[in-house]
Amino acid sequence: MTLPTVDTAAVQARLTPDNTLEALTFEAAGSTTASGAIKGYKAPVYAVPVAAGQTLTVAFKPSNTSQYMNVTDAADTTGAAVHRGEVDGADASLTAAKDTIYLLQPFMVRAAARRGESGTFEISVTRK
């Protein structure tokens, strides 16, 4: 199975200066874990390539109750989330209809971000 290639320059251009991009690399059908920190509006964004027909499962474990994670399709320039953490919960399961680069975007809710709150998180990612 061939995974789509992450165009890091194109994806980074769509992010805010407060975001840093990291492409997660692991077996085409496998799992990995990423951990990071959010401070105010500063947060990492993780790119995960998924082949057509594959299912991406993500579990978000934050240390701060004001932290959530959205999942977006990098090809969707509107930035609309396909999984909205505040509404849909901490876990996501998405099946790709076509080759897709999903962006995992941890964030602090705006009121907490304005106060400069911080927290750590762990994201477990499975692609099958």
CATH number of residue 26's parent domain:
2.60.120.380
Residue 118 lies in a domain: yes
The pTM (predicted TM-score) of the whole model is 0.96
Tens digits of residue pLDDT in 97-114: 999 999 999 999 999 999
Integer Cα distance of 60 and 63 in angstroms: 10
Closest CA to 58 of 120, 14, 2, 102: 102
Q: How many domains, in total, are found in the chain?
A: 1
Residue 57 lies in a domain: yes
pLDDT bracket for residue 3 (50, 70, 90): very high
The domain of 123 spans 8-127
- What was the pLDDT predicted at 1? 85
Tens digits of residue pLDDT in 7-56: 999 999 999 999 999 999 999 999 999 999 999 999 999 999 999 999 99
**9 Cα distance to chain centroid:** 17
Tens digits of residue pLDDT in 55-94: 999 999 999 999 999 999 999 989 899 999 999 999 999 9
